[in-house]
Structure 1
Amino acid sequence: MLLAALLSGCSAVPWIGGEKDPTPPTPIDKKLTQEVSPRVLWKTRIGKGTRERQLRLIPVLADGKLFAADPAGRVVAVSPADGRVLWEYKTERKARIPFSGGPAVADGTLVVGSSNGDLLALSSRDGTLKWRIRLGSEILAVPLIVNDLVVVHTIDDSVYGIALADGSERWRYDYPAPVLTLRGSSTPAEADGGVIVGLAGGRLLYLELEQGMPVWELTITPPRGRSELDRIADIDADPVVVGNIAYVATYNGDLAAVDIAAGMILWRRELSAHAGLTADGSALYVTDSEDNLWAAEPTDGAGLWRQEGLLHRRLTAPALSGNALVVGDIDGYLHLVSRRDGRMLGYTRVAKDRIGHRPVVANGIVYIYANDGTLAAVRINAAAGDQAGDQAPAAAAASATQD
């Protein structure tokens, strides 16, 4: 009965069940004068893609390589310069592992999780299998490697501490999930000797790393509303830690700041989000549930600007590149937005299918992994982006409203 309720709840929300959103996306503004012109450097295909399943397969750049995993059981390392495959790990056809969360890389080891609850560790140098274990539930969050520990958040809201060296379980924390939840899990964030984990039901948890004991637990957004769907208040967006403050956003809920040492909510502002957020020294940047992009004051959550020109385009969480924010959308476009005032700076189409997760940015290059299996590198003109960010708002910023 519980499984039926979870499935029926998920299928009732279009973007969770994989159905097309009944609200059409805002058309691309082809008349936009592009202040920044992104250029695709290379593209390759990694398998057949996710087929619209809500997975957390996000490329990671480490050890001079770009790593990505495929839901058909393949992990690859490619050259960031040209997309050339350096090595690949493939599970056997009769025993394919449906990868669904990761990868993460540290200290020469790559870890990736699967829909079956498998957690694998490979050598980041050549793809050799180091160990494989089975956890109790599906892994839809990117594992977090902290020193010699792998922290894994599974879809049933259990959190595991796994030894990086041999895959042995050091501790496990179980949390009872609500009857109805979004299909997804937030990736834990390292914070002052512990980890911050966003849970279903609008809860935020802080665990110490030695034994996985809870230091504190907070309700960011209590469930509210008449129907069970209205009462979904999950934290699927990854928490962002800046100094001693954790910023978090909930679906059907709030954007909030939490003092990590005190375990106390500093401020809270009503804002529904599930794709994610990011931050720099001057602002928080959030993709809300209707695909507005927001900039907010980190001190109190007050809005600085809002970009409404990409409504219902199923945007990713924003990534930072120079003075621009970079987001992917439902049709495989990358969009660049000014961090200063929210105006549109430019766009380019990278894939024919949705870019499902936050782009990865390094040294002025944006790496994306689309749902059709396209892995690509896009160069952003950093100088142009910086100049655009320092200019006064132009007519192209008409759709970016102050809030």
Structure 2
Amino acid sequence: MSRALRCWAAASLVLVLVLVLVACSSGPEKPKPTPLENLTPKVAGRQVWRHDLGTVRFPLRMAATADAVVLASSDGGVFALAAEGGRELWRGDANGKLSAGVGSDGRYASVVTTDNELVVLDAGKPLWRARLPTRVVTPPLVAGERVFVLGVDRSVQAFDVLDGRKLWVQQRAGDPLTLLQPGVLLPYKDTLVVGHGARLAGLDPLRGTLRWEATVASPRGTNEVERLADLVGPAVRVGETICARGFQVAVGCVNAERGVATWAKNVGGTTGVAADEQFVYGADASDRISAWKRVGGDVAWTSERLLYRNLSAPLVAGRALVFGDFEGQVHFIDPENGQALLRLPTDGKAIIGAPVKAGDTIVVLTQAGGVFAFRPQP
């Protein structure tokens, strides 16, 4: 098949997906969000600082280090804020609207523009930019003096962080229709872990060669749209275990040391997962929150207190499980049993992306570009 014909076929499938989504949106009225219950806080916590980021037109994932959070606006501004107090450490400009959020190792930050340009900044100063052959919606990974990029066509590229030299490209055959949602790209020891459709793959970060591959979700359906099961971020690592969600299909875990799947459970949902030593946590398409045992995957508990509240991906922060919702409320939940511990407001706009933890500070981003930092106390 010629390149032009392949592009036409992919575009046609994207159009089909758009039409399906439009048809669904004009169907039966969605269930109303569950009203929030009166809550007597069981732990103390407060907002410790706020920063106004600017325009955020879609979820842009943040990056966190031990003492800072790095984030970007849709218009191309890139910022580093101190976890303690929210002081601006540096700011830069990608000189273009962004299609993917920021990846950072604390010094170098990387974003991708809507013109398919990979931009790398050193403490806010533009260092280099490189044209990419495909669209990118997953934040780049900056690690080991390299920048790794996952394209929507499931290609993976590696660049030298200092001079932008392309080190390798790994291109694998895949389905013509892929998901325009941030995927899985994270390090595990000396292995680069990537979401390839419904599978996790371990790559050699020096050469791009495949070390192992494990299936997390099994696509189902009669057409390309129904069989979409790409792994969505954020994924989470606890020890040797990496857990992820297959879009609308399953949640599962892989032993990254051996490269084998350990369990998978059929469950709908479109956002990433979180985990600790005991459980893996996530919300399904109706915002029912579940905790699965990290070993074996059996359900430990479920909660329906926040149904249809358009929950964000979760974060485990100490002795709390944190979700944001469509009204800008930040919910702190007991990870042992799903009971509500604390609820704190933001600016009334939806929490987008996943909360992140920088030091002892939990940071969330709202649709209005509000960056809110909280510090719960035992």
Residue 166 (structure 2) pairs with residue 169 (structure 1)? yes
Residue 234 (structure 2) pairs with residue 214 (structure 1)? no
Find runs of 4+ consecutive structure 1 residues off by over 4 angstroms: 19-22
Note the C-alpha offset of 1:139: 2.2
Opposite residue 90 of structure 2, the aligned amino acid is W
Partner SS state of residue 206, structure 1:
strand
Residue 326 (structure 2) pairs with residue 323 (structure 1)? no
CA distance in 2, matches of 1:21, 1:350: 31
Partner SS state of residue 11, structure 2:
helix
Q: Which of 41, 60, 64 is equivalent to 1:61?
A: 64
Partner SS state of residue 12, structure 1:
helix
Alpha carbons of structure 1 residues 165 and 349: separation in structure 2 relative to 1, 3 Å: same
Note the 1:312-351 alignment, pairs <5 A.
312-351=308-347
In structure 2, the partner of 1:31 is: 38
CA distance in 2, matches of 1:63, 1:133: 29
Note the 1:7-18 alignment, pairs <5 A.
7-10=15-18, 12-13=20-21
Q: CA RMSD in A?
A: 2.5
> % of aligned pairs identical?
26
Give CA-to-partner distance per residue, 1:150-169, whole Å, 9 cap, x none. Answer: 11112221111111111111
Give CA-to-partner distance per residue, 1:24-48, whole Å, 9 cap, x none. Answer: 4423324222323542223232122
CA distance in 2, matches of 1:371, 1:8: 28
Q: Which of 148, 155, 158 is equivalent to 2:155?
A: 158
Number of residue equivalences? 369
Note the C-alpha offset of 1:86: 4.1
Residue 299 (structure 2) pairs with residue 300 (structure 1)? no
Greater fraction of residues in strand: 2
CA distance in 2, matches of 1:149, 1:76: 20
In structure 1, the partner of 2:102 is: 103
In 1, are the aligned partners of 2:101 and 2:111 still within 8 Å (CA)? Answer: yes
Q: TM-score normalized by structure 2?
A: 0.89
In structure 2, the partner of 1:232 is: 228
Opposite residue 118 of structure 2, the aligned amino acid is L
Structure 1 stretch 329-338 or stretch 32-41: which is displaced more?
32-41
Unaligned runs of 5+ in 2: 1-7
Opposite residue 8 of structure 1, the aligned amino acid is V
Note the C-alpha offset of 1:371: 1.8
Opposite residue 183 of structure 2, the aligned amino acid is S
Opposite residue 61 of structure 2, the aligned amino acid is I
Unaligned runs of 5+ in 1: 384-403
In structure 2, the partner of 1:198 is: 195
Note the C-alpha offset of 1:341: 0.5
Note the 1:1-400 alignment, pairs <5 A.
1=8, 2-10=10-18, 12-13=20-21, 22-50=29-57, 53=58, 55=59, 57-62=60-65, 64-91=67-94, 96-106=95-105, 108-124=107-123, 127-200=124-197, 202-380=198-376, 382-383=377-378
In 2, are the aligned partners of 1:37 and 1:348 still within 8 Å (CA)? Answer: no
In structure 2, the partner of 1:386 is: none
Partner SS state of residue 239, structure 1:
strand
CA distance in 2, matches of 1:7, 1:42: 43
Note the C-alpha offset of 1:339: 0.6
CA distance in 1, matches of 2:220, 2:105: 40
CA distance in 2, matches of 1:197, 1:270: 21
In 2, are the aligned partners of 1:99 and 1:115 still within 8 Å (CA)? Answer: yes
Give CA-to-partner distance per residue, 1:196-216, whole Å, 9 cap, x none. Answer: 11133x122221111101122
In 2, are the aligned partners of 1:6 and 1:179 still within 8 Å (CA)? Answer: no
Give CA-to-partner distance per residue, 1:355-395, whole Å, 9 cap, x none. Answer: 11111123432111112111111221x21xxxxxxxxxxxx
In 2, are the aligned partners of 1:38 and 1:379 still within 8 Å (CA)? Answer: yes
In 2, are the aligned partners of 1:69 and 1:76 still within 8 Å (CA)? Answer: yes
Opposite residue 13 of structure 2, the aligned amino acid is A
In 1, are the aligned partners of 2:68 and 2:106 still within 8 Å (CA)? Answer: no
Alpha carbons of structure 1 residues 21 and 229: separation in structure 2 relative to 1, 3 Å: farther
Alpha carbons of structure 1 residues 89 and 101: separation in structure 2 relative to 1, 3 Å: same
